[in-house]
Amino acid sequence: MTNPALDRLDTSAHRCFTNLSSAELVERAVSAGEGTLASNGALVCLTGDRTGRSPKDKHLEDVPAIHDKIWWGKVNTPLTPAQFDGALEIAVDYLNSRPKVYKFEGWAGADPKYRLGVQVVTEQAWHSLFAQTLFIRQGTKAAGAPAPFRKDWTIINAGKMRLTAEQQAKLGYKAPVLIAQSLTRKCVVIIGTEYAGEMKKSIFYAMNYDMPEAGVFPMHCSCNVDKATGGNPALFFGLSGTGKTTLSADPNRALVGDDEHGWSDQGVFNFEGGCYAKCIKLSKEGEPQIWNAIRFGSVLENTVIDPSTRVPDYDSARLTENTRVTYPVDFIDGAVIPSVCGHPKNVIFLTADAYGVMPPVSKLTSEQAMYYFINGYTSKLAGTEAGVTEPQPNFSPCFGGVFLPRPPITYANQLAAKIKQHGTNVWLLNTGWTGGPYGTGSRFKLSYTRAFVTAILDGSLAKAEYQTDPVFGLHIPKAVPGVPSEVLMPRNTWKDGAAYDVQAKKLAQQFRDNDKTFDMPEAVRGAGPKA
């Protein structure tokens, strides 16, 4: 399908500035009042009232060519071709009315065989800088051998405007904010939100659609390798608050990427050219790699700075808890550039179980790996949201359900094929609570969690003697160096075993209620807990 409205986009040289340097973009952003420089050199920008993604405003063009391949429902809601045409026309007309626009042209995918060319057209210079840090810039070491740019995907970002009531009526759409994506036209239209993460995640969504048909398993995970040898890759899957960033940032390991990867027949490659890290409560002592990466050329989103000293206040959530920083991956000391590595021998699923009933570490069978991958479990804690008075399960398929255009079983089948082909071990690592639920028990010590990761990566844990959890059916090691043996079986850490049994059965039933919503082989369903 074509995008005729794009032909009307005015990209004349006098008003459209393409692939400016980071210094030029920073200068233009500051002079236009889009942001200010912090004391560490980072550009600090605000995103207005949208300080996170707007999933309820994200819609997918529904056409026959893709209809039967899509996981329609809460995540993927349809937009008609006429509505997409209308949204694109409104965004193009808006950008044509601006005195200047910025265009970035680069890549998604560190492996040239599978990369997609991404063009981003924005009104704001800082949005173009964001694209430059998150995607792979042409002519850099991260891009590899020089190659002509080929546009596969276009992002039209008209985030500063909002749909008027008249425009909404014309579109047959009832909201001022719209993120419209077309998988056949390979185009994204952003209207009404300045949150830059919408650009990043729209291309991840595109990769999640395109890569399976190219034989690549797309993954919402971080990846690192042994710093000394560049080998022994490890993948860390996990939702927010489970420790994905903390555990992948290891002084003895080199970072391949922090968030999005593909696993091909050649190995693992980063989809991105940069990192997009949370920086609430950030400290130099706690996360020195991220701290040191925040400098000129990086972008701080919604971070409070002192008006006099311009020093960032990372502890402040006055604007949002979701304060963010984006920077090129090569701002991390020792990062792997280009961001590619071999096949992982270990895949680690991270969960933070606030019920205190799941084991801290367990080795998964192939069927269990598919089951826990499809369910993607962690916990919401009491007090984190209005009305949440006790821990609640949070299930996100494949540890990134909101970014999946295809049914979760598609990606679970790819996972199963990869681990079988490469003899990969899959682990479930619980970074949550022990000795009781949240409020009674305590969170697993980080030193214990790091000991588990060390034993996984050096191969010793795969050779351990195991016991089976009677409720979850998980295989738990009887001993791990540096960790007290009584911590390994959750029931042993509770003062009241009967209370543990009640909580374990409760969580098991929640797993079972959740897995009913998915199509999966009975062998995989049978690998779940006993409700």
Q: Which residues are catalytic?
A: 53, 201, 220, 240, 244-245, 259, 324
Could you tell me if 529 and 472 are in contact, meaning their C-beta atoms sit under 8 angstroms apart?
yes
What is the 8-class DSSP label of residue 444?
P
CB count, 10 Å around CB of 509? 13
What's the CA angle centered on 116, arms 113 and 119, to 5 degrees? 150
Kindly list the distances between the CA atom of residue 170 and the CA atoms of 3, 90, 165, 188, 233, in Å, as whole numbers in the listed order.
19, 11, 9, 20, 51
Q: Where are the beta strands (DSSP E) in 91-170?
A: 101-108, 116-122, 136-137, 153-158
Residue type, 360: P
Element (H or E) spanning 327, and its range? strand 324-328
**Beta bridge pairs of residue 157:** 122, 190
Alpha carbons 451 and 463: distance in angstroms, whole number: 15
Could you tell me if 104 and 135 are in contact, meaning their C-beta atoms sit under 8 angstroms apart?
yes
Q: Crossing angle for the helix pair 125-134 and 197-213, nearest 10 degrees? A: 40
- Which residue in 191, 190, 198, 246 sits closest to 222, CA to CA? 246
- Which residue in 423, 441, 270, 402 sits closest to 341, CA to CA? 270
By CB atoms closer than 10 A (0-12, 13-18, 19+), residue 450 is middle
Q: What is the residue whose two structure tokens read 């993460």?
A: 197
